[in-house]
Structure 1
Amino acid sequence: MKSETLIFGIRAILEAIHSGKTVDKLFIQKGLQGDLAKELMQIVRKQNITFTYVPIEKLNRLTRSNHQGVVANISPIDFHNLEDLVMNVVESGQTPLFLVLDQLSDVRNFGAIIRTAECTGVHGIIIQKKGGAPVNADTIKTSAGAVFKIPICKVDHIKDAIFYLQGSGIQTVAATEKAETTIYDVDLTMPTAIIMGSEGKGIASSVLKLVDHKAKLPMYGEIGSLNVSVACGVIVYETVRQRL
């Protein structure tokens, strides 16, 4: 089973980016100078790659090799193009079912959701390039390897994905406690994308304004909220129940 790959050196990282590899995290030495470093930063900013300036001691702890002031974590999977995936699912004659994860940050929750999605026939998972949980060794382990079996798409902005899904005839359903109706009141037999929010903040208000439906799970305890991976499992299985 592949896990997250650590690469280092400016030329090696430039080559990885040019070849289409997904950089989950990029650590750059504070004050790094030189033409190659400038070239790297131009590409990093153009492609909206997450990076952090760190002291050289941090880089030395990550690798004992000659890192040249940069170390990167490369994703162990290849991400899919959203437009191609949606088109393929629609053309297949199946009723589309997608998950959209808005800034989910915990890798174990991410892995658990991927595992549930694979078990329930979800056609793909959509995440944002910046701010969300990476696909790393913990994600892979928690997903029980399902991360290699289900398409995952990275998009620049969740709102753009919402617009594209809606334009493709797919209803968008946001799971939020701010809803008036429950998930059991929504017709999930239609082509559907379910949006789940982050562990702390839920779904961004700017995203909630765009969706077709808002729905909540009925809560009877005092805590008032479920773990996001558990809530996602309940909602996806309600979709399965309706479609059986």
Structure 2
Amino acid sequence: MKKEYQIYGIRTVIEAINSDKDIDKIFIQKGLRGDLIAELETLVRKNGISASYVPVEKLNRLSKQNHQGVVANISPVEFHNLDDLVLEVIESGKTPLFLILDQLSDVRNFGAIIRTAECTGVNGIIIQKKGAAPINADTVKTSAGAAFNIPICKVDHIKDAMFQLQASGIQVVAATEKTEQMIYDIDFKLPSAIIMGSEDVGISPSVLKLTDHKAKLPMYGSIGSLNVSVACGAFLYEVVRQRLS
């Protein structure tokens, strides 16, 4: 983690949370006690921030500074408000195209997806605050800097974001093998949002049942699925193909 993406010290991290800094993860030394740590833990729970309790040796590797038992990784990008972004895209006259990532956890897959999304004209990427891959130095590097060029929104719940998009006239399409409908059967000339699932379990069932359409890619080999970033690229370029024709 680059220095500019890292903060340390109990009070510093508390102030960062209170100032609405976008914090991806906090590392807290195991066994720490005291009023300040209790205050920090309360803020972590209240704001849904990912936290790990680790040995002091781990913290010493993360930071050579006087970390006081707490090190936090902050996001190198600013997140956008979903309400504002949807309104901005609709008012621009563009046909909306959003990408929703449901519990994607690998930062390199995330970075690759960001890069492809930027190249294919995606208007915004939506991730959930809890459980999503962080936007850190590896994500930015894998995205080839595209993470700075495309709006990314963090939401409390993916389902609420879906309802909001649907209420704005945007169809939500799930990329899933749990359907007979092919990607080529979907009309992507319509305002669309595509959902990609996590690397191991795909799209969660509760999210899947709320989608407008489900679509899959044709598979001819013996392996039953593609890497999520590759599958995402195939979906996004089908949107591009349809909208160019």
TM-score (norm 1): 0.96
The residue number in structure 2 matching 1:173 is 173
Matches within 5 A, 1:154-193: 154-193=154-193
Local SS of the residue matching 1:181: coil
| Counterpart residue type for residue 107 of structure 1 | V
Q: How does 1:39-78 map to 2 (within 5 A)?
A: 39-78=39-78
Shift of 1:218: 0.6
Check whether the contact 1:3–1:140 (CA below 8 A) recurs between aligned residues.
no
SS of equivalent to 2:147: helix
Cα offset, 1:3, TM superposition: 7.7
Cα deviation digits, residues 80-137 of structure 1 (max 9, x gap): 1111111111111111000000011111111111011111110000011111111111
Query: What is the CA–CA distance in structure 2 between the aligned matches of 1:66 and 1:4, rounded to whole Å?
Result: 16
Q: Give deviations 1:170-205, integer Å, cap 9, x for gaps.
A: 100000001110010011111100000011110001
Quick one: distance in 2 between partners of 1:130 and 1:12? Answer: 22
1:35-68 Cα shifts (integer Å, max 9, x gaps): 2212111111110001011122221222222211
How far apart, CA to CA, are the structure 2 residues paired with 1:4 and 1:68?
18
What is the rounded CA distance, in whole Å, between the counterparts of 1:26 and 1:4 in structure 2? Answer: 15
The 5 A counterparts of 1:1-244 are 5-244=5-244
Structure 2 distance, partners of 1:150, 1:4, is 21
Give the Cα–Cα distance (whole angstroms) in 2 for the partners of residues 185 and 112 of structure 1: 26
Counterpart-to-counterpart distance in 2, 1:203 and 1:108: 19
Q: 1:4 to 1:101 in 2, by over 3 A?
A: farther
Instruction: For residue 4 of structure 1, report the CA deviation from its aligned partner.
Output: 6.3
How far, CA to CA, are the matches of 1:197 and 1:60 in structure 2? 35
SS of alignment partner, residue 161 of structure 1 = helix
RMSD: 1.2
Q: Which runs of 5+ in 2 are unaligned?
A: none
Q: Give % identity.
A: 74
Question: In 2, are the aligned partners of 1:3 and 1:76 still within 8 Å (CA)?
Answer: no
Q: Secondary structure at the match of 1:174?
A: strand
**Residue 95 of structure 1 aligns to which amino acid in structure 2?**
T
Residues 80, 154 of structure 1: 8 Å contact kept: yes
55-64 vs 198-207, which deviates more?
Answer: 55-64
- In 2, Cα distance between equivalents of 1:219 and 1:7: 45
Ranges of 4+ aligned residues in structure 1 off by more than 4 Å:
none
Letter paired with 1:226:
L
Distance in 2 between residues matched to 1:132 and 1:48, nearest whole Å? 12
- Give the TM-score normalised by structure 2: 0.96
Between stretches 224-233 and 62-71, larger displacement belongs to: 62-71
**Structure 1: 5+ residue runs without aligned partners?**
none
161-170 or 34-43: bigger deviation: 34-43
